[in-house]
Amino acid sequence: MNRDRLRRLISSAFVGACALAVLLALVPLAMVLFFVVRQGIGSLNLAFFTSMPRPVGEAGGGMANAIVGTLMLTGIASLMAVPVGVMSGIYMSEYAGTWLAIALRFAADTLNGVPSIVIGVFAYGIAVLPFKQFSALAGGFALGIMMIPIIARTTEELLLLVPNALREGALALGATRARAVFTVIVPAALPGIITGIVLALARIAGETAPLLFTSFNNRFFSRALTQPISSLTVQIYTYAISPYDDWHRQAWAGALVLVGFVLTCSLLARIATARIRRLRG
């Protein structure tokens, strides 16, 4: 009797501990969001989006150049990563089970786990050192490498969700594999693939480490692809480790913009995926 009570007690304590773990993880989430909003909202105004950084000691100014820089860097990264990622995903799902598909899946998971700073060092060796010049292209290259495995894996997963009857139907009508893939299967999975790309964008837009020594930073407004370019994340980092209060305020405002962007993307993606899954059953 006594032993049963003990067992039940242990069980209840265990359930309680699991619930506590959930709360424990939500505390830092709430705290980070709370501080980013509280500290950031004060310095966030129109000028933040439209004006350039001011020199030390001059209050105000904004991050117009960094915001444009981040958009350009993610743009370059997408141009490189979307074709490679989507095509790899197609191979992995269309030829699932072949040794190359298995190797590709393993490579994608491996690449996904490579620390971002290592990708930065690699991009430095490939795209900065030979030209002796930090550049937007090098930064976009580094971010693109990070994007490829994410897009490849989501594309693969979503193509596998497409009902096999569609594939068989297209092939039965005499379509070539290429035609079946590009006119039937990919369009069927397109909303999901785009969702995956948006998620990948949200993830790399928040990356700092691969940009530190590829796109570097720029105090001025630059649109040249072969010049160093400013980015939101590197700018936040520079401001955060500086000793100036006004720069700290700017860093918080930058963080708020970044978190706002990332959370909006994940929320939209989440809603879209839920809808797709409902449609597919």
The residues in 214-273 that bind another protein, with binding defined as CB under 8 A, are 216, 233, 236-237, 240-241, 248, 251-252, 255, 258-259, 262-263, 266, 270
Instruction: Output the smallest distance, CB 262 to another protein, in A.
Output: 5
Tell me which residue of 67, 41, 42, 32 sits closest to 52, measured CA to CA: 67
**Residue in 72, 76, 108, 229 binding another protein, rule: CB under 8 A:** 108
Cα–Cα distance, 58 to 244 (Å, whole number): 11
**String marking each residue 171-190 x if it binds another protein according to CB under 8 A:** -----xxx--x---------
Do 137 and 225 meet the contact criterion of CB atoms below 8 Å apart?
yes
The residues in 72-91 that bind another protein, with binding defined as CB under 8 A, are 83-85, 87-88, 90-91
* Count, residues in the chain: 281
In the complex with another protein, the residue whose CB is nearer, 76 or 236, is 236
Do 61 and 47 meet the contact criterion of CB atoms below 8 Å apart?
yes
**String marking each residue 29-58 x if it binds another protein according to CB under 8 A:** x-xx--xx--x-------------------
Phi, psi of 198, rounded to the nearest 5 degrees: -60, -40
Residue that the structure tokens 């897009």 belong to: 151
Count, residues near another protein per rule CB under 8 A: 89
In the complex with another protein, the residue whose CB is nearer, 7 or 280, is 7
